[in-house]
Amino acid sequence: MSNVGVLGSINVDTTLHVDRIPQPGETIHVQSKSSAGGGKGANQAVSAIRNGAKVKFIGSVGKDADGVMMRDLLKAEGIDIECVLEDEKNSTGTATILLDEEGQNSILVYPGSNDSIRKSDIDEMKEELETLDILIAQFETPKEATLEAFKIAKENEVITILNPAPASEIASELLAVTDVIAPNETEAEVLTGIKVESVEDMHKVASYFHEKGVSVVLITLGSRGVFLSSKDTEKIIPAFKVKPVDTTAAGDTFIGSMASKLKVDLSNIEEAIVYGQQASSIAVQKPGAIPSIPKEDEVTRIYNL
């Protein structure tokens, strides 16, 4: 069983179900509204633990009802929340999701307490980080905290996985302590300036990150699968074809479930990617973020593993 840490966001998601995403200046009718736990960090942590990992969460919530709800939700999943801080000043993060009839979404995120995690907080958690096998982070919490956590991780031979979303400039110092980076096509373009339209473009993106010190590059391609580039191989691993209902937590489900199966020497990266895609293919067929994430027994049953 992998010991996975997740440094990341905790949000309460409100989903507005619409026929289509509105154009600028346009007012449209909302068919229905629903709320559930979310945030990229929380989604990835839940995906990892539901698929067999032991999980420790590092994050922050407000001292409000949403914060209590999210702490209780994570704890009920079996996630260690000793490193989830309570922010005295800011409310718990929220996300408003516009979800159309094709299962595609647009998301507005209010970071709230997610923005309050500091380098000093991470330093106080050093002993907790040293016990991990794998550490995952995204960009919905401050980068200075991620950099400090990844530095501690690398000093202790912990595998680091960076999901650079939402995409913004990455310091070379952070890439130098990143083992696996996993942007989607849009994020890859924002980060490298290379528009991903062909396999050759994917190779150029991968080369950019390899030159910065990243060992494994994964570019998630939605329904086409995942492009993998490492010292041993470079290929597209095809996705499993399904009809999506809600793609909100697709990438997070992939990251968390893949990490749950990943060996610390990365020797089974292809097998872990395939498992992550299987879990993600199930998640997109259900509404919501955390409610859609499958457990290991469901993945095993559906794909006869």
Catalytic residue among 121, 133, 201, 252: 252
Q: Is 133 annotated as a binding residue?
A: no
Q: Is 11 annotated as a binding residue?
A: yes
β strands within 88-222, DSSP E: 93-99, 105-110, 134-137, 159-162, 180-181, 216-220
Residue 40 annotated in ligand binding: yes
222 is in an annotated binding site: yes
Residue 220 annotated as part of some ligand binding site = yes
Is residue 41 part of an annotated ligand binding site? yes
CB 43 within 8 A of CB 256: yes
95: left (phi over 0), alpha (psi -120 to 50) or beta: beta
DSSP of 188-245: HHHHHS----SHHHHHHHHHHHHHTT-SEEEEE-GGG-EEEE-SS-EEEEPPPP---S
- Alpha-carbon distance of 132 to 4, in angstroms, equals 6
Q: Is 246 annotated as a binding residue?
A: yes
> Would residue 133 show up in a list of annotated catalytic residues for this protein?
no
Is 251 marked as binding a ligand? yes
Phi, psi dihedrals of residue 59, rounded to the nearest 5°: -170, -160
- Does 301 carry a binding-site annotation? no
142: nearest Cα among 184, 180, 113: 113
Cis peptide preceding 166, ω within 30 of 0: yes
CB 212 within 8 A of CB 172: yes
Angle at 182 between CA 116 and CA 245, to 5 degrees: 90
**Has 224 been labeled as part of a binding site?**
yes
Q: Is residue 292 part of an annotated ligand binding site?
A: yes
**43 annotated as ligand-binding:** yes
Q: Which residues are catalytic?
A: 252
Q: Which residues are annotated as a binding site for K(+)?
A: 246, 248, 283, 286, 288, 292
Q: Which residues are annotated as a binding site for substrate?
A: 11-13, 39-43, 140, 252
Q: Which residues are annotated as a binding site for ATP?
A: 184, 220-225, 251-252
Q: Which residues are annotated as a binding site?
A: 11-13, 39-43, 140, 184, 220-225, 246, 248, 251-252, 283, 286, 288, 292
